[in-house]
Amino acid sequence: MERKNLITFFIGILMGCSLLACQSNASEQTQTEQADMPVVPAFCADSSYAFIKAQTDFGARVPNSEAHRLCGDYLVATLERYGAQVINQYANLRAYDGTVLNARNIIASWNPASQNRLFFCAHWDSRHICDEDTIVSNRNQPVMGANDGASGVAVLLEVARLVSLQQPHVGLDIILFDAEDYGHGDVENSFCLGSQYWAMNPHVSPYNAKFGILLDMVGGKNPVFAKDQVSMHFAPDIANFVWDRAAQLGHGNVFVPTQGGGIIDDHYYVNLLAKIPCIDIIHYREGVGFPDTWHTTNDVLENIDKNTLYAVGNVITHILYESR
């Protein structure tokens, strides 16, 4: 994605931007079984971590690569195994450098007939170049994307596993956007090609949902998730609701209730083009920027923190199962 500060956001342009046992979280279910509170299944960080490893084991998932194709097949098979109806949305998308990307948005739906639905989304591709690496000779390597891409997908795969065990009250779509990260900071709208395509060509028409939540870089160390300016412009009620719930669940140190950067991520195009409110949970600290591993050779599994996966997964699992 690219990043914009508030001023440039409104006037135009500044680019920047095997299941494992989970006893440790088991108490959560007991806690939520009281009174008329819905039973919220326990999000398992170990499981979501394993879903990151499964993706990075393919290698960097750069569009047009074999690793990308095979990982896409893995994601579809996994989502179908968890009971989703899956649509592959293929599109040839032209990148800033003229490369035609064989892109594949993956949309997994549960209870697709329901008009009362939410969606969660993430991008599943990884970037073609480590152009933020401090070592110049690394900058032509692809990004492994353990955090930038795989972490959001992994949290959503764990949610999919929970949904296979316990249906929420609302319909759910998990949308995995492709070709998010094959952009150039100086070329407007060159990031988020998959979400731009989906927002103009939804997988079913008309598509509607109450709101959506985008996850991007949700597995790093020392995270800060602030309310980014695009989310607050298009969907302030949703952002406030999610951050308030996060604080109630004990994640207020991670979901900080301050304004974040102006992030042009997939949610921007969902809001702008599909006109469905969608917020972004993304690691970005105002004045510091994205995490140190961003678009570098350090964006690898060893730099993932399970506590971060848990905080985000715990929050969105509650949002899903508490929705009526």
- Chain residues that interact with Zn ion, rule: CB under 5 A: 148, 181
Q: Which residues pair with 67 in a beta bridge?
A: none
The nearer residue to Zn ion, 201 or 297, going by C-beta atoms, is 297
> Rounded to whole angstroms, how far apart are CA atoms 243 and 248?
9
Q: Compute the least distance from the CB of residue 197 to Zn ion, in Å.
A: 18
The nearer residue to Zn ion, 155 or 319, going by C-beta atoms, is 155
Residue 24 DSSP label: G
The nearer residue to Zn ion, 158 or 181, going by C-beta atoms, is 181
Q: Compute the least distance from the CB of residue 263 to Zn ion, in Å.
A: 11
Q: Which residues pair with 177 in a beta bridge?
A: 123
Nearest to 180 by CA among 188, 191, 168, 169: 191
The nearer residue to Zn ion, 17 or 238, going by C-beta atoms, is 17
Structure tokens at 235: 């969907």
Q: What is the pairing mode between strands 100-110 and 2-4?
A: unpaired
The nearer residue to Zn ion, 148 or 178, going by C-beta atoms, is 148
Within 8 A by CB and 6+ apart from 274, the residues are: 198, 199, 200, 202, 207
Q: Compute the least distance from the CB of residue 32 to Zn ion, in Å.
A: 34
> Rounded to whole angstroms, how far apart are CA atoms 239 and 228?
9
**Which helix (H) or strand (E) is 194 found in, with range?**
helix 193-200
The nearer residue to Zn ion, 46 or 180, going by C-beta atoms, is 180
Nearest to 317 by CA among 272, 281, 285, 268: 281
Within 8 A by CB and 6+ apart from 71, the residues are: 55, 58, 61, 124
Q: Compute the least distance from the CB of residue 181 to Zn ion, in Å.
A: 4
Tracing tokens 């998932």 back to the chain, one arrives at 61
The nearer residue to Zn ion, 47 or 190, going by C-beta atoms, is 190
> Residue 247's CB: how many other CB atoms inside 10 A?
16
Q: Compute the least distance from the CB of residue 103 to Zn ion, in Å.
A: 15
One-letter amino acid for residue 216 of the chain = D
> Rounded to whole angstroms, how far apart are CA atoms 68 and 72?
6
> Rounded to whole angstroms, how far apart are CA atoms 54 and 150?
9
Q: Compute the least distance from the CB of residue 252 to Zn ion, in Å.
A: 26
Q: Compute the least distance from the CB of residue 63 to Zn ion, in Å.
A: 13
Coil, helix or strand for 216? strand
The nearer residue to Zn ion, 264 or 311, going by C-beta atoms, is 264
Q: Compute the least distance from the CB of residue 12 to Zn ion, in Å.
A: 22
The nearer residue to Zn ion, 28 or 181, going by C-beta atoms, is 181
